Amino acid sequence: MRTRHRLLACATAALLGGAGALMAPAAATAQAANLLTNPGFEAGTLAGWSCAGNSGSVVSSPVHGGSRALAGAASSSDTARCAQTVSVQPNTKYTLSAWVRGSYTYLGVQGGTSTWTASAADWKQLTVSFTTGASQQSAEVYLHGWYGQGTYYADDISLDGPGGGGDDTEAPSVPGNPRATGTSATSVSLAWDAASDNVGVSGYDVYRDGTLATSVTGTSATVGGLTPSTSYRFTVRAKDRAGNVSPHSATVTATTGKDGGSGDRFVQAAPYLYLGWGNPPSPTEVMQATGIKWYTMAFILAQNGCNPSWDSQRPLLGGQDEAAIKAIRAAGGDIVPSIGGWSGNKLGPNCSTTEALAGAYQKVIDAYRLKAIDIDIENTDEFENAAVQDRILGALKIVKQNNPGLRTIVTIPTLNTGPNSWGNRLIERAHALGADIDNFTIMPFNFGGAADMYGNTVKATEGLKTKLVSTFGWTDQQAYNHIGISGMNDSSDAGEITTPQIWTQIRDWANSHDLGRLAFWAVNRDRPAWQFTSITAGFTG
């Protein structure tokens, strides 16, 4: 039984979302346009939609297109009906479509036709056509699930046809003064001056290198999922409710940073400190003796459902853990919490949706105004569980978007050759979901027998580097910058021995390859001379 604790995603929410409007020509007419406001939920809100009883929410997974979708939480007493009213023309044919997932999902127009599917395990498109009445000037379109059938998801919703306002064919003006307002290693933030239109601008489409990247209702947007140290070209088009679309704006060229929010690399030397185990040392005394500045504090688990607490029992605030964090910061240091671990009651399986898990992480972030969080994903309940992996990655994507500058770390087991099949899956899903993870830390120990701890650590790290390069398209150096090593001082659970000399070799190799993070389990075991902590303090990345 190892003393080190390590860390589901029935992604239960996806709303009407997705790619959004059909593109009209530069001098657009009022034909074949998507009349819906916020059709893809790419702004991250329900703007334009009304969902009964607060049953709808915007989610980042699962999605059919773009980075957002609608989740309708149907219950035993409510169908989670979400609707939008639009202006239409009389005696005119319209086509309504949506991509849906879930059981008994309905799409229709109020007072008119509808369609439904009994089961859609994967995305399925529903489509209906209708003709407005002789004097009809508005139509209410809707989606809903069915009583007791659980959450349905909807994405890429479209109502095609001429908008209300009769013969309006005037396109909005071109958005002015487009500009980049900020960059990170994986995102570019943009802003522009509002366009004008005779009947009002309904939104903007942002293009990256000629491809629609996101749709928003305001005059700013952040395009994520980009590659570090890469140049991109962006343009913006305005659109109105009649389906008219402006020409492209002037082009903005922006280059992503090397590996951080402002081009700086994320580097962290942070050995584990566990206040829930034995006789924990004074963190400030260790700081004074060794020069260490950061600690990885263990372990945040679940208490009474999806509620974060230290070891499932100590509150985030008002106890010994908060007192230790305040003391560490007063001494010029900081902490990153380790959420999860090998054993215990973890947040991943206990938080039923991606959004709920993100909310639990947010509680921890808010409690300590964190600069970084580490999710320690281990064992069969989280690491070897595809749903939990996706839930964790989706939640990290949400908190990364909601907390500019926050660094996210995932810590996982490894073979001596690199990630196993579950580790490879996690890395591939991080890329597919756009989770924007800053650091992938491996735990290179428990290989079995009298392992060569230096040689196997290097080999495992090289295996991880190769996987990151092939998955993300990074250079070798970019991949090294995103890697961390979390070792075990002295004897591992399998009896492998890492001496101070071996740990020094590992640290020096990590420095020579510009890795992003170095940790070990644990300061509690590093008595009396704090040798491993002192060695770790010499990690500069």
Residues belonging to the active site: 378
Instruction: Please report the beta strands in 132-281, taking only residues with DSSP state E, as ranges in sequence order.
Output: 138-144, 151-161, 176-183, 188-193, 201-208, 211-216, 220-223, 231-240, 252-255, 268-269, 272-274
Round to whole Å and give the CA distance between 200 and 242. 10
- Side chain identity at 509, as an amino acid letter? W
Give the number of other CB atoms < 10 A from CB of residue 497: 13
83's enclosing H/E stretch is strand 82-87
Instruction: Please report the beta strands in 292-389, taking only residues with DSSP state E, as ranges in sequence order.
Output: 294-302, 308-310, 334-341, 372-377
Round to whole Å and give the CA distance between 417 and 480. 16
Alpha helices in 191-314 (DSSP H): 283-290
- Angle at the Cα of 15 (from 12 to 20), degrees rounded to 5? 145
> Which residues, in sequence order, are CB contacts of 285 under 8 Å at separation 6+?
none
DSSP 173: P
Token pair 């958005």: residue: 175
CA distances from 277 to 2, 256, 273, 368 (A): 13, 43, 9, 21
Round to whole Å and give the CA distance between 316 and 499. 35
b/e map 188-207, b = 16+ CB within 10 Å: bbbbbeebebebebbbbbbb
CA distances from 541 to 507, 511, 537 (A): 9, 5, 11
b/e map 400-425, b = 16+ CB within 10 Å: bbebeebbbbbbbbbbbebbeebbbb
DSSP 146: -
Give the number of other CB atoms < 10 A from CB of residue 529: 11
